[in-house]
Amino acid sequence: MKKIILLLSLLSSILFFSQKTHTVVKGDNPYRISRTYNIPLSEIYRLNPELKTTPLSIGQVIRLSDKSAKKGSTPSKLGAIIIEPKQTIYGITKKYHISEKELRKLNPNLDNQMKIGDKVALPLAKIKKYAKGQEFVTQEQTKGKDLAKDKIKNIEKPVVPVEKNYNIAEISSDNYLIYKVKSQDTLFGIINSFNVSIEELTALNPQLSKGLKAGMKLKIKKSPTTYTSKEKGVLNIAVIVPLGYKEDKLTYRKMSLEFLKGVRFALERNVAKGKKIKAHFIDGGTGVNFKKSLQKLDKSKANLIIGPFFKSDLFEILSEVTDIPVVAPFSNSKDLYHYPNLIMVQTDEQNYADRIVSEVIKAKHKQKIYIVGDNQYGKYIEQGIKKEYSDANIQIVKSAQNIELSKNMMTGKLIPATLILATKNKKEGQVFANKLVELAGETEGINAYSMYFTGAFENAEKLPALRKAHLVYLMDRKINRRGRFEKEVLSSYKSKYCENEPSKYAVIGFDIVNDMISRENAKAEIFKKIKTEQTQLATKFKFVQAKKGGAYINTGYRVVRLR
């Protein structure tokens, strides 16, 4: 009897091993099929790439073997660059000496792959030749052979079109990143997005043996870094500003004092609400004195560091401090993006350009478009609009003075157009506003957008004409004077300081401190709520991670519509 059982078992194994296909029955999923035939799940996906994006259907034939592949075939080598802020399709083609046609052939869903941190496939030889420090990964396309596990560890998972965003929903009590499965999610998409292996994911989530279901919460991996309170129940904040008393320099002192006024105001309001906070203010000085100033920072107690202001000083402090969150009030630079404990408040200007493109496309004006700003953002906006409307009539000009509207040959009237300001030059901002006033007085139907705010947009005499031009502009901060919270804060500030309202830098100081304190929990674990979108007195905070395991950058801004 034992011999019969053994023979049947051996025969079953041989049949499974030799079987080249499997017909899907009710209850099947890729994981179950891989277990049944003792084939790695990654191999199932390699042999059946359609499973990466579409669910199984009963009766579907799944390939289990690839014996027909040619044995001596040479693997073609691809790599993938990691998209950085401000990088565009045009920029990639120029940098890596590749045609847009070839780039799109390698990346069929290219237009949806251009977000920060996404991967874009390129010939590996070109990456190695032209990358010049840009982060990239390698990939080997292999036919008819298995890869050793130790080799797989050093090879990036296949580069596939990124069709959606996979955002972490929460961090569990045992410090795991948690992802909530959405409809149409695939297992392959999840592992590719979070850079984990199938084996790691299934080990953490045994329920996957029953298939992937919408609403399921998956443990992805350990949160890379945790920052907890070092003094129970007390939040210790260090604020570093360039007062410059040691050097007796006044350059940044006024700005720093106004910033500190806002910081203190926010601290006092939170303490009055029962928060236990200790604040330590440090004169960071300027230049060589900054390193000496760091000696005053008690790293054993600090839970949060706000400042310094300058990029060079941030490099200095981040090289020494790795276990304390550091908030940069004014610096946003891609060479800081790899620091996991850094929070950058300043919004990258590419977010503004993206919003202008979105506004113009959504409006569907079908007018000639003038873009003021012969720079990277002017060209970026032009490229973005032409992705949607390839026949759009767009002209880039250096100054609004160069804009001349065409006339209707039948009526002799000026033909309305869309004007976009894509330069932060203050003089050009003034010229742009004046041109809008001029054109709004000559014709109906003018539409205008601006990446930047200029004081002329709030000029009482110009406002009627700017409203007629339907001006939409963006600001890094703007106080909503009708809001209940804003009214209460402004009234309290006026009562305390006998000033009508806080200065620009006092507002920044207040907003940063009030926002950061609101994200802290009892253990001072600020990153657990870092992705919560919220608005303070004037600043909108919407943090995203610049790259996996890297810094968080604010992508929030205010949109002002003159109607």
Tokens of 292: 């000496």
Q: List Cα–Cα distances, 371 to 158, 353, 360, 400, 443, in angstroms.
A: 39, 12, 12, 8, 19
Q: Which CATH number fits domain 350-475: 3.40.1010, 3.40.50, 2.20.28, 1.20.1440?
A: 3.40.1010
- pLDDT for the residue 541: 96
Closest CA relative to residue 514, chosen from 506, 522, 503: 506
- pLDDT for the residue 453: 95
- pLDDT for the residue 368: 96
Determine the Cα–Cα distance for residues 149 and 138; give it in Å rounded to an integer.
16
Determine the Cα–Cα distance for residues 349 and 360; give it in Å rounded to an integer.
17
Q: Which CATH number fits domain 170-222: 3.40.50.10470, 3.30.565.10, 3.40.50.970, 3.10.350.10?
A: 3.10.350.10
- pLDDT for the residue 230: 58
CATH 3.40.50.2300 for domain 76-141: no
Determine the Cα–Cα distance for residues 265 and 513; give it in Å rounded to an integer.
9
Closest CA relative to residue 344, chosen from 335, 354, 356, 353: 335
Closest CA relative to residue 553, chosen from 296, 408, 350: 350
Please list the pLDDT of the chain residue by residue as tens digits (563 residues): 433 333 333 334 434 444 578 878 777 777 778 777 778 777 887 888 777 667 777 778 888 876 544 444 444 577 788 777 667 888 888 888 888 888 888 887 777 667 666 778 888 888 877 776 555 555 443 333 332 233 223 323 333 333 344 556 566 666 677 888 888 787 777 877 777 777 788 889 888 878 888 899 998 877 654 454 556 678 999 999 988 765 556 678 889 999 999 999 999 999 999 989 999 999 887 666 787 888 888 888 899 999 999 988 998 899 888 889 999 999 988 889 989 999 999 999 999 999 999 999 999 888 999 999 978 899 999 999 999 999 999 999 999 999 999 999 888 899 999 999 999 999 999 999 999 999 999 999 999 999 999 999 999 999 999 999 999 999 999 999 999 999 999 999 999 989 888 999 999 999 999 999 999 876 778 988 999 999 999 999 999 998 888 899 999 999 999 98
How big is the CA angle at 524 (ends 330 and 476), to the nearest 5 degrees?
A: 25
β-partners of residue 552 are 343, 545
β-partners of residue 278 are 236
- pLDDT for the residue 535: 95
- pLDDT for the residue 11: 37
The phi and psi torsions of 189 (rounded to 5 degrees) equal -60, -40
- pLDDT for the residue 86: 67
Tokens of 372: 């003021």
Q: List Cα–Cα distances, 65 to 18, 39, 62, in angstroms.
A: 8, 9, 9
What is the rounded (10 degree) CA torsion for 456, 458, 459, 462? 80
Domains 76-141 and 350-475 share a fold: no
Determine the Cα–Cα distance for residues 427 and 398; give it in Å rounded to an integer.
12
Which helix (H) or strand (E) is 419 found in, with range?
strand 417-421
* pTM reported for the whole predicted model: 0.59
Return all residues near 90 (Cβ < 8 A) that are at least 6 apart.
100, 379, 383
At the top level of CATH, the class of 235-347+486-557 is alpha beta
Closest CA relative to residue 443, chosen from 473, 465, 420: 465
Return all residues near 552 (Cβ < 8 A) that are at least 6 apart.
342, 343, 344, 527, 530, 543, 544, 545, 546
Determine the Cα–Cα distance for residues 469 and 477; give it in Å rounded to an integer.
23
Closest CA relative to residue 326, chosen from 342, 344, 347: 342
Q: Peptide bond before 158: cis, by omega within 30 degrees of 0?
A: no
Instruction: Indicate the SS3 state at residue 509.
Output: helix
- pLDDT for the residue 417: 96
Query: Hey, where are the domains in the chain?
Result: 76-141, 170-222, 235-347+486-557, 350-475
Return all residues near 10 (Cβ < 8 A) that are at least 6 apart.
none
Q: List Cα–Cα distances, 118 to 26, 109, 211, 455, 515, in angstroms.
A: 36, 12, 27, 37, 28
Determine the Cα–Cα distance for residues 484 and 258; give it in Å rounded to an integer.
24
Q: How far is CA 89 from the centre of its chain?
A: 17
Determine the Cα–Cα distance for residues 270 and 178; give it in Å rounded to an integer.
30
What number of CA atoms fall less than 13 Å from residue 352's CA on the CB side?
27
Return all residues near 326 (Cβ < 8 A) that are at least 6 apart.
305, 314, 317, 318, 339, 341, 342, 343
Return all residues near 387 (Cβ < 8 A) that are at least 6 apart.
111
